[in-house]
Chain A
Amino acid sequence: MDIPYTVSARKDTGLYNGKLGLWLFLASEVMLFGGLFSALVLIRVGNAVWPPAGTPELNVALATFNTAVLITSSVTAILSWASLAKKDLGGFKKYMGITIVCGFIFLMAKSFEYYGKLSHGVVPSTNVFMGVYYTMTFLHVLHVIGGLAVMIYLWGPGSKMWHTNPGRFSNRIECTGLYWHFVDLVWIFLFPVLYLL
């Protein structure tokens, strides 16, 4: 028996199974990160001086670079899906490959930033700001790693599905793109809150 609505949308929800599941997952993610952002706001209003005295300066230049990298990766993510809509598997591979490379560049820059902090003894227990910084950015890094794992699979062995079930494969790429956009959106909020304000 075939599972219904894996390719076409169900009439009452307007969504296929994968997209419905993905949006429910993203709703839980909004609550997870929303809780952390709320905690940050409460900690911040409870401190007369923010960041607390003695907090080392964060690397704004590196974070700005990473922001540009993630925005670029979002554009290439939708371009990879658009390539499939044009039946262009080569275009998909190219744009998804660029998205993956952008993800790795982000991780390399982030690990460089972490190394700079940790090698100078700046750890999560340094003060409440650094605790919040490491918690939120590392949770975000874990989400980037998760997204990269899925994209590498779909770029490599997972792309065989294009030849057997192109509609379902295209839906998988859309769901992956939605997740990647969410991860990038979290960074768009993290960047000003932690590095600028």
Chain B
Amino acid sequence: MSLKSFHIFFVAIATLLSFGFAAWAWKEYQLTYASLPLFYLALGLVGGVGLAVYLIKIPQKYRELSYL
């Protein structure tokens, strides 16, 4: 497995973490109604979408690198 393949795996896990973080923030907001969890929620959603878009673009962006 090359760095390119491992990078794809890493970004996929980071994307899941980001959406999971957003879900945690939503749960926190429902418990406290504070503004900080809302900021975390936005951060998690924006980060997750950004990472997902990047994940889709990786094969094209690093086409000169091998998967093996």
Contacts and interface: CB of A to CB of B under 8 A. Distances in A.
B59 interface: no
A74 interface: yes
Interface residues of B, number: 24
B62 A82 contact: yes
Contacts of A82: 62, 64-65
Contacts of A182: 6
Contacts of A85: 64-65
Contact of A78 (B3, B13, B20): B3
Contact of B3 (A9, A67, A181, A188): A181
B17 interface: yes
A174 B54 CA distance: 20
A188 B14 contact: yes
A120 interface: no
Contact of B17 (A78, A86, A174, A192): A192
A197 B20 CA distance: 11
B14 A64 contact: no
Considering residues A19, A71, A174, which has the most beta carbons from chain B within 10 angstroms of its beta carbon?
A: A71
Interface residues of A, number: 30
A196 interface: yes
B14 A71 contact: yes
Contacts of B10: 74, 181, 184-185, 188
Contacts of A77: 3
Interface of B: 1-4, 6-7, 10-11, 13-14, 17, 20-21, 24, 36, 40, 43, 47, 51, 54, 62, 64-65, 68
29 contacts: A9-B68, A14-B68, A61-B36, A64-B21, A67-B17, A71-B14, A71-B51, A74-B7, A74-B11, A78-B3, A78-B4, A78-B62, A81-B3, A82-B64, A82-B65, A85-B65, A174-B2, A177-B3, A177-B7, A178-B3, A181-B10, A184-B10, A185-B13, A188-B10, A188-B14, A192-B20, A192-B24, A196-B24, A197-B24
